Amino acid sequence: MSAKSVKRYSCIFLALLLILFVKHLPLPTGMKPLGMNVIGIFLGSLLLWLTVAIDWPSLLCITAIGLIPEIGFKNVFLSSFGNDTFAFLMCTFLCTYVLAETPFLKRCAVSFITSPIAKKGPWLFVISFISAIIFIGCFVSPSVLFVVFLPILEKINEILGLKKGDKIGKMLMISLAFCVSVAAGMTPIAHVFSIMAMGFYATATGLTIGYAEYMAFAVPVGIICTIFLILIFRFILNPDMTKIKNIDVSALKNEIKPMEKKEKAILGVFCIIVALWVLPSILKPYFPIICKKISTMGTAMPPMLGVICYSIMSFDEKPVLNFAEGMRKGVQWSSIIMAAGTLALGSAMTNQHVGLAQYLVETLNPILKEVSPMLLVLIFTLWACIQTNFSSNMVTVTVVTTVAIPLVQATNGAVSAPAIVSIIGMMSAFAFATPPAMPHIAIAIGSEWVESTDMFKYGFIFMIVAVIVTIFVGYPIASILM
């Protein structure tokens, strides 16, 4: 048996021990037996998520929680597969798959980098390139965004005559990798981590965080962080931009055909989906009855409506969405299964019968009275930022949010719980320093345009920037709006 197999089976064995036997350990004062049971499941699942896989361990987690008599399988299925977050993710993946199959995303990207502004100078070209990533990334998943932009970047490098090792090529690849992650944290549209955080908050408190409220703080944070990223490139990386002084990538326009009816129809439906997510929060003061009805339908309704429309619409006697093919190619099932597992775990940890949330509040409330509110904001922001850069983003949002909600609630309003939860969701996407942070970071390093040491160096600097901007800009805005 290979060393890799020994490590895998050792982790599985240890995880099963935690799930089965932690509940038999002596109880801390004030903790219920069910609390230790759930802690064991949490620790065992966390170990498997970090070392083995994210899909089947999530099913093991759901099964273990379902075996707790006080919770049962009916309730655990309702809080996992029956949760609207599960339906939201599945339908959103299908809708973004349809959009990604059109030339629209590439059309947007090329329009940015071939604009008159981009032609006025090398740094304006870089800013246009970054702006394209950020803008498009607000509406599509990180994996789709990176796959769309990577061939465009390769073509740009070819036109510019850049070679691997050149600072400009390195800067452009870091820009792509970092900005894909930043954009993933700026909106909940087609992005898993912020939606999971919002789902945990709704499960724990019965309250919701609106899309517009989330974006009102996350978009400014993302834009400010991006500005600082450009300054980092200008004054720290400091590439010789004379190589691309007379840049012209207009040839990329020739590869894109004029927009056809099919693309326009797909884009129109997608715009309606986004509007149904965002507008109710914005227009609530003006149309309270209509907006309330739309909001009560939940976040899963708009993409589900989109899937139905795409399935009905047909061009050249073929439906826009081949449902079977979309489910096979467009849906990231590992992420969805893990989302189900983490939702079930979060529900179990906040369950009144389990008593973990109450135990944490009673135990830590005396300590929290002595802690500065801003220190607590710093702790959770920094924790989420560091963990997401070295482990799974979904594990980060699950662990940090589950711990944060009861602790922040124990401050009796001194720290805004929805603001902290939203920050954790955003920071869980801000992953760019190491290969485990996100798949596209590993791909960027594997491209050989940037080395892992450079990714870590600039990723670490950018982590510090993101934390500072979030604490001093993001949290004040979020705490006022939520």
Identity at 270, one-letter amino acid code: F
Collect all residues with Cβ–Cβ distance below 8 Å to 64 and sequence separation of at least 6: 19, 41, 44, 45
Beta bridge partners of 319: 314
Q: What is the number of domains present in the chain?
A: 2
Q: Note whether 202 and 316 are same-domain residues.
A: yes
Strand, coil or helix: 52: coil
Q: Which of 398, 418, 429, 377 is nearest to 225 (CA)?
A: 429
Domain boundary among 79, 104, 124: 79
Print the domain residue range for 45.
1-79
Report pLDDT for 285.
80
Would residue 277 count as lying in a domain?
yes
Say yes or no: 22 and 110 in one domain: no
Angle CA 365–371–373, to nearest 5: 100
What pLDDT, on the 0 to 100 scale, is given for residue 225? 96
Backbone angles phi, psi at 284, to 5 degrees: -55, -40
Q: What is the pLDDT of residue 435?
A: 78
Which phi and psi angles does 213 have, rounded to 5°? -65, -40
**113, 230: one domain:** yes
At position 206, the amino acid (one-letter code) is G
- Please give the pLDDT value at position 381: 93
- In a shared domain, residues 103 and 250: yes
> How far apart are alpha carbons 477 and 482 in whole angstroms?
9
In DSSP terms, which residues pair with 28 in a beta bridge?
Answer: none
Based on the fold, state whether residues 180 and 216 are members of the same structural domain.
yes
Do 104 and 191 sit in the same domain of this protein?
yes
Name the DSSP class of 470: I
Q: Coil, helix or strand for 323? A: helix
289, part of any domain: yes
Considering the domain architecture, whether residues 270 and 318 belong to the same structural domain is answered as yes
Residue ending a domain, among 79, 97, 124, is 79
Chosen domain end from 330, 354, 369: 330
Instruction: Tell whether 373 is covered by a domain.
Output: no
Q: Say how many Å lie between the first and final Cα of the chain, rounded.
A: 54
Q: Is residue 426 part of a domain?
A: no
Residues 165 and 259 in one domain: yes
Mean pLDDT by 10 residues, the chain (482 residues): 83 90 84 85 85 84 88 84 80 86 84 82 90 90 84 83 84 92 90 86 83 91 95 89 72 76 90 86 81 80 90 87 87 81 78 76 70 86 89 80 83 87 93 80 84 89 94 93 82
- Residues 75 and 186 occupy one common structural domain: no
CA angle 163, 166, 172 (to 5 degrees): 95
Q: Answer yes or no: do 97 and 69 share one domain.
A: no
Q: Which amino acid is at 348?
A: A
Q: Is residue 250 part of a domain?
A: yes
Do both 143 and 248 map to the same domain?
Answer: yes
Q: Confirm whether 119 is domain-assigned.
A: yes
| Same domain flag for 229 and 301 | yes
Within a domain: 258: yes
pLDDT in tens, 106-127: 888 888 878 888 888 889 889 9
Alpha helices in 138-210 (DSSP H): 142-160, 167-186, 192-205
- The C-alpha angle with vertex 468 and arms to 467 and 472, in degrees rounded to 5, equals 120
412 part of a folded domain: no
